[in-house]
Amino acid sequence: MNIAFIGLGNMGGPMAANLTRAGHSVTGFDPDAPAPEGVTMADSAAAAATGAEVVITMLPNGAILRQVAGEVIPAMPPGAVLLDCSTVDVESARAVADMAAAHDLLALDAPVSGGIGGAAAGTLTFMVGGSEAALAIAAPLLDVMGGRTVHCGPSGNGQAAKICNNMILGATMVATCEAFALADKLGLDRQAMYDVASTSSGQSWSLTTYCPAPGVGPTAPSDNDYKPGFAADLMLKDLGLSQQAAEAVDADTPMGAEALRQYRAFVETEDGAGRDFSAMLPRFAARSRG
């Protein structure tokens, strides 16, 4: 397929490279990132999108997505698909889908889970909002870039699924780190704590797949001095999106709000910026109740 890829940073770059390795023709645009392997670079987003069957975007936030959509949509041929893989607010995803429909285009919001490692390995999970017709066109590309695609319903529902999932993740990681720090102070060995919680009612992905305690459980960023697999800065962004959405629909999410408060303090006023989101454990281990 003839593909345009806008946003070639830590996630978009390896995703685009995987598409070229699968035999697709990819024209890219990014004002800052270098050209990934096999990608022909254009001098603007609109130039990259001209004539493309699918335009893929991987962008930092909803405002930039709206701006880029305004540039690429007029350049896309009727019936083409705008496939946004960014994590943005639900309102922006739905607004861009409406913009696309007004120009006889199809649109999908398809945020990802799996991080930089999943982008490089082509094992991402895509949470997709949009029509079945659009998904049928984009599915072969999603299969190259990922290992699983879940169709979550109409436009915006992919973003809704992503932020709800990551609200759970943020809250459970905070609780997991708190529990290990408490276990330390109670004299409970971390391995014993893991052996109990991982096989009983305290089990969670944060514990058994991404354990914040070094040397316990499968290898995770905690075993690499908390160098980010999923940065605390990105968790802060996603928790902010979850609370923005909760406010918009008048949903009571006190645990999500508290997780946001904890990560905001960690990233903005402590040493969490640039560290993995599981680095909450040494933070709690060093703190007292006061």
**Tokens, residue 102:** 């007004």
Give the whole-number percent of the chain exceeding pLDDT 90.
97
Strand duo 2-6 + 25-29: pairing: parallel
Q: Whole-angstrom Cα distance, residue 66 to residue 32?
A: 19
Structurally, the chain folds into a number of domains equal to 2
**Tokens, residue 117:** 């490692």
pLDDT attached to residue 37? 92
pLDDT attached to residue 290? 73
Q: Whole-angstrom Cα distance, residue 115 to residue 129?
A: 20
Whether residues 241 and 204 fall in one domain:
yes
Output the CA angle 221-277-231, nearest 5 degrees: 85
Whether residues 168 and 224 fall in one domain:
yes
Q: Do residues 72 and 118 make contact, with C-beta atoms less than 8 angstroms apart? A: no
Whether residues 57 and 200 fall in one domain:
no
Average pLDDT, 10 consecutive residues per value, the chain (290 residues): 96 97 97 94 97 97 97 97 97 97 98 90 97 97 97 97 97 98 98 98 96 97 95 96 96 98 98 97 93
pLDDT attached to residue 239? 98
- Reported as a single tens digit per residue, the pLDDT across 89-116 is 999 999 999 999 999 999 999 999 988 8
Whether residues 19 and 142 fall in one domain:
yes
User: By residue range, what is the domain housing residue 173?
Assistant: 160-286
Active site residues: 162
pLDDT attached to residue 162? 96
pLDDT attached to residue 115? 84
pLDDT attached to residue 200? 97
On whether the pTM is more than 0.85, the answer is: yes
Question: Last residue of a domain, which of 153, 186, 220?
Answer: 153
